[in-house]
Amino acid sequence: MKPSQPLHVLAFLAVALIGVLVGSGLFTFISAEGASYLSNDPKVCVNCHIMREQFDGWQHGSHHAVATCNDCHLPHDNVIHKFFVKGSNGFHHSEAFTTMNFHEPIRIKPGNAKVLEANCLRCHGELTGEITAHGTLGVPTDPTQKADLYGCVRCHQEVGHGPRR
């Protein structure tokens, strides 16, 4: 069966629109130095001045010498996951930065918090094996989750960015 004429037009339009979207998105991404996401150097995160506070904090944090942004904020379980998170964060943050439309103070989002927690365990899993053997840690701030996942940070909030208050 041959596709009908209108469908062809629609398909063409769709492709064109997607192209525009991708193109402009990419451009914004690049001009806002979203490409920073592709590097492991913390300095490239502060290309975006919005990240200055976290960068300064990181320099004062206990992990300054042992972990960079990506060690904590990107998944390390597998490459696909890593680039997926990298890409979606990069795009989202570039967009937020360009439109200057985001909540301040900036707060880590649940998905990224899960990534973070997994990284704590990546480095400290052995040490904490006994306390995680019977389930994740949990904080009752989110009643929709029986135990949400940001357990380490509840007590060790300062490891990444130094004293918070």
Partner 1 sequence: AAAIATILVLALYSSVMKRKTEALQTSFRLVNLDEKTVDPAQWGKNFPRQFDAYQRTNERYSTRYGGAGSEGMAKSRLEADPRLVTLFDGYAFAIDFNQRQGHAYMLQDQRTTKRVTQKPQTGSCLHCHASNTVAYREEGIKQGAPGTLDEPFDSPNARQQLMAGFESVCKMSYQDATKLVQHPVACLDCHDPRNMQLRVTKPGFIRGIAALAQSGDPTPHLPSIEKWRKGDRKEAYDANRDASRQELRSMVCGQCHVEYYCGPKTTLFFPWNKGLKVEQIESYYNEYKFPDGHRFFDWKHAKAGTEVLKAQHPEFETWSQGIHARSGVSCADCHMPYVREGAIKISDHQVRSPLMDISRSCQTCHRFPEAELKTRVEIIQDRTYLLMGAAENAIVGLIQDLDSARRAGVPEAKLQPAMELHRKAQWRLDYVNAENSMGFHAPQETARILAESIDYGRQGQLLVKGLKP
Q: Which two tokens stand for residue 154?
A: 């509840």
Nearer CB in complex with partner 1: 1/102: 102
Pick from 65, 67, 103, 116: which binds partner 1 (CB under 8 A)? 103
Does 107 bind ligand HEC (CB under 6 A)? Our answer is: yes
Residue type, 128: T
Pick from 109, 142, 160, 161: which binds partner 1 (CB under 8 A)? 142
List residues near ligand HEC by CB under 6 A: 32-34, 36-37, 42, 45, 47-48, 50-51, 54-55, 58, 62-63, 66-73, 89, 93-94, 96-97, 102-103, 106-109, 112-113, 116, 119-124, 127-128, 130-132, 137, 150-157, 159-161, 165
| Residue numbers at the binding site for partner 1 (CB under 8 A) | 16-17, 19-20, 23-24, 27-28, 31-32, 49, 77-81, 97-100, 103-105, 107, 125-131, 133-147, 154-158, 163-165
